[in-house]
Chain A
Amino acid sequence: MSCVGFAPPRVALWLLRRVVPLTEREVFVGDLLEEGQAMAIRDGNATARRWFWRESLIAVLTLRRRRVITPVPQPAGDSRMLTFLGDLRHGARLLRRAPAFTLLSVLTLALGIGATTAIFSVANPVLFQPLPYPHPDRLAIVGERDADGTMSNVGFLTYRDLARESRTVERAAAMGSWQVTLDDHGAPERATGQRVSASFFSVLGVRPALGRDFAAAEDAPSTNSVVMLSHGLWARRYGSDSTLVGHTISINGAPYLVAGVLPASYESVVAPQAEIWRVLGYDASLPYACRTCRHLQMIARLRPGVTPADAAVELSALSARLVREFPKEYPAAGAIVLSLGDATLRAARPVLWAVLGASALVLLIAAANVANLQLARSMRREEEFAIRSALGAGRGRLTAQLLAEGLLLAVIGGVAGLIAARVTLAMLVARLPATMPRLGVIALDKTALTVSATITLALGVAIGLVPAMKDGRSEVADSLRSGRRLTGGRRHLARAGLVVAEVALALMLLVGAGLLARSLVRLMSVNTGFDATHLLTLQAQATGPKYPDNNAVYLNHERILASLRQLPGVKSVAIVSQLPLGGNLDMYGVNAEDKPLANPELAPYADRYAVSPDYLRAMGIPVRRGRDLTAADNSDRAPLVAIVSAGLASRIWPGQDPLGKRIHIGGPNPPWRTVVGVAADVHQRSLDATESSQFYLPERQWQFADNVVAVVVRTANDPTSLARAVRTAVQGIDPSQPVTALATMEEVVSTSTAQRRLALMMFAAFAGVALVLAVAGIYGVLAGAVAERTREIGVRSALGATPADILRMVLLQGMRLAVAGLAIGLVGALSLGRFLRSLLYGIDAADPLTLGMVALLLAAVALAACVLPAFRALGVDPITALRSD
C-alpha cells in the first residue's frame, strides 16, 4: 500500500477553505491532512478519504456557527445578473448530470407547452382575435325573425327597405352565394364566390389593391357583369396579370368585367371559400327579388356607438311596419342582429373552447408531473442544499438557484414544445374541417409565441418554487445531522397532492373523450334514411352557352345517366339537385290544398330534391307508401307529382293518408301537384337534426333546371374501385364541365361530423397523454415511498407481517391517492361537462355509464402502476433493511 497515495478529496479541501475561519484554517486543515495520511497507511486510502469527508462536513456544520466568515453580501446590479448566470450554469451542469430526469421533464413540458401552443394557434383567430376589418365591432349580420324565433335570411325588398330606413345602420349590403365555372385562361375550374351589393366592400372597410371598387350604377340587372377577384385567385389562375383589370374574363361562358383585385391580406370571413365577387344587381322587378325570396344575407355597418342590440330594437320596429304593410309575405315580425363575429364564428366556438380547455388540462398535468419529478429529485439533493446553506447561502440564494433550474428546464421544454407545435400545427390544420371559419389565418404568430413564452415562464417559476417552498434552513441542517433518516413529510404531502391532481385531471379528459366517442358512435348509428354503403357520389354541372335552356341541361343529365349505367359493377344511377348531408340548404314552403293558411309564409319548409327517375332506389331510401318516381313522370304530358317524406306528411296531414292530396311548392303562383308516394325521412342538414321534411319531384317538373347536381352511383362492390371509371365517364360527356366532390357516401356522412371527429381526436390524444402522465406520477410517488420505507417494511416483516399485509399496505397507499383523484376528478368532470354539451349527441354530460367506465379504467390502470412498487416492497429482506441504517 502506497503511503504517499493519500490524496485528500479536493472538493472537501475547497469546502474547508471556504468555511473554516481563517484563525483555525491552517492548523485545522494541517491536522486533518496529517491524520488522514496516518489513517491511509493504517486502514487504506478509501477509509481515510471517507473519514476526511466526514470530518470536513462536520467542520462545515460546526465551525461555521462562529460566523467568523461574514456572509457574502447580496451583489447588486450587474453582479446580481452574474449570480443568476452562475445559477443557470450550475443548473445546466446538474441537468446534464441527471439525463434521465432531464429528458423526462423536458419531454413532458414540451408535450404540454406544444399542445397548448398548437391548439391556441388554431383557436386564436376564432376565439380571441378581432375580425380583420376596421372597427369590426360595428359590423353586424341582420336577419328576419322566423315564427319559431330563429334567424333567417332576408328577401331583397326587405333588405332594401331596412337599409334605406334604418338610422342605426350606417351602410348595408346584401350578399348571396355564387357558384361559377371559370372557363378561360386554362382548364375550366369551379370556383366559389359571392354576389354582393356594390356597397359590400365599403361596408367592410376594404379597398381593392388593384383597380376600383364596384360602382353603385353597376348594381342593376343590366349592368351587373362585373367581378372582383381575390388576390389568391388572381395570382393562381391569371398569373398576377395586372392588365386583367378593366378587361373581361369568361365565367359560365359569358364575359365579365374585372373591376379590381383585393389585397392579399383580405380575408373573406363571411364566405370562407369565396374567391370571386360579382355585383348583385337586383331590382324590385326581378321575380327572385321578392320579400318571400329569402335567400340573401344582410351585412351592416352600424353607426358609431350603436350596439347590435340597439340596432335590433330599431330594425324590429321597422320590420313590424313592413309586416303590417305586407301581412302575407312575412311569417313573423322582428329582426335579429348579430355582431359579425358572433354570426360567423359562433358555431365553431364550442369545439374550440373544449379542445383548448383539454389542452390546458394536459398542460396542468404536465406541470404537476414535472413539479413532482423536481420534488423527488430535491429530496435526493438534501445534502447539496445543506452544504450550500452551510456555505452561507441564505434561503433567498437557494430559492434563486432552484428558480434558475426550474426556468432552465421550462425554457428547454418550451423551445422543444414550440418546435413540436410548429410541426403538428400544419398536420392539425390539414385535418380541420374546411367549413371552419378563419382557417387561412391560423399561424404560429406573435400572439401564440407570447402566450407560450408566458406559459413557459410561469411553469419555470412554478416548478422551481415547489421544491424551494419546503427548503427552510432548519430542515436542511436537520437533514445533514440526522443522515438519511429524514423523510420530508410535508414534501410527501405535496407529491401526493400533485398525483391526486394528475389523476383528477386525467379523469376529466378521459370522461370528455369517452362522452365524445359515445356521441359519435350514437351519431354514426343514427338512421340516415338512406343506405350509405356501396354508394359513390360526385358533383357534375352543365353551365355556359352550351346550355342555353332547361332542356339542354336535362339532356346532359340523361347522357350522364346513360353512360354510367353501362359501366360494369354499377347497379343503379340517379341525379339529384342536392345530396343529403352534403352541406346544401335548399328549402321551400309546402302548402296543402285542403289546409289553406291565412299567411302562406307559415307553410312548413321542406328540402327540395329535383331528381331523376330511380333516385330513391339508388339511394336506398325506402318508399313507405305509394310509388317511386319513374321515367314516365318526366314526359311532357305527365301530370305534376311529388313524393313527400313521412315527417312532412305527418306535419301537414297528421293521422291522414297523404296519397292523392294536392300541394303547391314555393313561388308566387305555383301549380298544384299530386302526392303519389311517401318516402322515409332522411337527414339533410346534419345527423343530429331532430326534425326534417323533404319532398321529391321529377326534375323536368320543376320550374328551372339545376345546373349543378349530385350524381349518385350504387355499386355492386367496393365503390372506390369504380371511382376512376365513373369520373372518366362523366367527364367524357362534356370535357368543358368540371367534375368535383368525388367521394363515397360514407365519406360524405363522415365529413358531416368533422367537427365532432376533430374534438374527439384531440380529446382522445390528450386523454391518452394524461393517462400516461398520471400513471407515471402514481408509480413515481409509490416507488419513492417504498424505497424510503424499506427500513419500516423490514421492521414490519421482522415483527411478523405477512407478504399479504405488506402488499396490502403499499397498494392501499397508492390506491388512496388514485381514489382521491378519482373523486375530485368526477366532481370536476360533472361541473365541466356543460362545456361539452353542445358537442354531445344522445348522451348526457353526466352519463353515469361513461363516468363509471372511465373511473374503472383509470382505477385499473392506477392499480397496475401500484403493483410493481408493491412487489418490490415484498422483496425487502428484513435483515438487510435493518442493518442498512
Chain B
Amino acid sequence: MLGEFEQLVLLAILRVEDDAYGVTIRRAIVDESRRDVSLAAVYKTLTRLEEKGLVVARVGDPTPERGGRRKRYYALSAAGRRALRQSIEVVRRMARGLGLGLEPS
C-alpha cells in the first residue's frame, strides 16, 4: 500500500509523461492538489520510490536556466504501475457505496 503523497508523485509522473523531472512533477502536484509542496518533499519521496523499485530514473541534459545542471527524469517501472493500480483500487473499493459521490467513472 502506497502513502498518499507517494500516490500523488506517481500520478504526477504519469501525468507529465516524458517530461517528468523535479520541477514538472512538483508543479503537477501543486496545480492539481492546490497545496504548497516543497521540492525537497518531492525529492524525498522520489528517492524512496526509487529505492523500492517503483520508479526508474535517467539523467537528462543540462539547460542554461539551471545553471548548466542536468535534469533527472523519472518514469514508472512495471512494479510502480502495479503498486499504483493496487493502491488506487483499494481506495476505490473502500469508498464504494458510501455516498461520497465517488462512483466509478
Instruction: Report the nearest B residue to A24, measured CB to CB.
Output: B43
With A32-B39, A34-B66 known, 10 other A-B pairs at CB within 8 A are A27-B70, A27-B72, A28-B43, A29-B69, A30-B69, A31-B66, A33-B67, A34-B23, A55-B39, A59-B43
Within 91-145 of A, Cβ neighbours of B (below 8 Å) are at none
Q: Which chain A positions have C-beta within 8 A of B22?
A: 27-28, 30-31
- Give the size of the chain A interface in residues (CB under 8 angstroms): 21
Q: Is A271 an interface residue (CB 8 A)?
A: no
A625 to chain B, nearest CB (A): 104
Instruction: Report the nearest B residue to A8, measured CB to CB.
Output: B67
Residues 53-86 of chain B: 1 if any A CB is under 8 Å from the residue's CB, otherwise 0?
A: 0000001001101110111100000000000000
Question: How far is it, in angstroms, between the C-alpha of A525 and the C-alpha of B15 when the chains are bound?
Answer: 99
Q: Is A26 an interface residue (CB 8 A)?
A: yes
Residues of A within 8 A of B (CB): 24, 26-35, 37-38, 54-55, 58-59, 61-63, 66
Interface contact A31-B39, CB-CB below 8 Å:
yes
Instruction: Report the nearest B residue to A23, measured CB to CB.
Output: B47
Interface contact A63-B40, CB-CB below 8 Å:
yes
Q: Is B41 an interface residue (CB 8 A)?
A: yes
- Of A35, A37, A59, which contacts B40 at CB under 8 A? A59
Q: How large is the interface on B (under 10, 10 to 19, 20 to 34, 35 or more residues)?
A: 20 to 34
Q: Which chain B positions have C-beta within 8 A of A30?
A: 22, 62, 66-67, 69-71
Q: Which chain B positions have C-beta within 8 A of A54?
A: 38
Q: Which chain A positions have C-beta within 8 A of B41?
A: 58, 62
Question: How far is it, in angstroms, between the C-alpha of A35 and the C-alpha of B71 when the chains are bound?
Answer: 13
A28 and B66 contact, Cβ closer than 8 Å, known pairs A35-B26, A63-B44? no
Interface contact A37-B72, CB-CB below 8 Å:
no
**Interface-central residue, B40, B62, B67, by most chain A CB under 10 Å:** B40
Q: Which chain B positions have C-beta within 8 A of A63?
A: 40, 43-44
Residues of B within 8 A of A (CB): 21-23, 26-27, 38-41, 43-44, 47, 59, 62-63, 65-67, 69-72
Interface contact A31-B65, CB-CB below 8 Å:
no
Interface contact A59-B71, CB-CB below 8 Å:
no
**Interface-central residue, B21, B38, B70, B71, by most chain A CB under 10 Å:** B38
Q: Which chain B positions have C-beta within 8 A of A58?
A: 38, 40-41
- Of A27, A38, A55, A59, which contacts B69 at CB under 8 A? A27
B15 to chain A, nearest CB (A): 17
24 contacts between A and B (CB under 8 A): A24-B47, A26-B69, A26-B70, A27-B22, A27-B69, A27-B72, A28-B40, A29-B69, A30-B70, A31-B21, A31-B26, A31-B71, A33-B65, A33-B69, A35-B23, A35-B26, A35-B39, A37-B65, A54-B38, A59-B39, A61-B40, A62-B38, A62-B41, A63-B44
Question: How far is it, in angstroms, between the C-alpha of A662 and the C-alpha of B33 when the chains are bound?
Answer: 121
Q: Which chain B positions have C-beta within 8 A of A34?
A: 23, 63, 65-66
Q: Which chain A positions have C-beta within 8 A of B27?
A: 35
Instruction: Report the nearest A residue to B60, measured CB to CB.
Output: A27
B94 to chain A, nearest CB (A): 30
Q: Which chain B positions have C-beta within 8 A of A28?
A: 22, 39-40, 43
B45 to chain A, nearest CB (A): 10
B54 to chain A, nearest CB (A): 17
**Interface-central residue, A28, A34, A61, by most chain B CB under 10 Å:** A34
Q: Which 8 A-B pairs give the minimum distances between C-beta atoms?
A: A30-B69, A31-B22, A30-B66, A59-B40, A27-B72, A58-B38, A58-B40, A31-B23
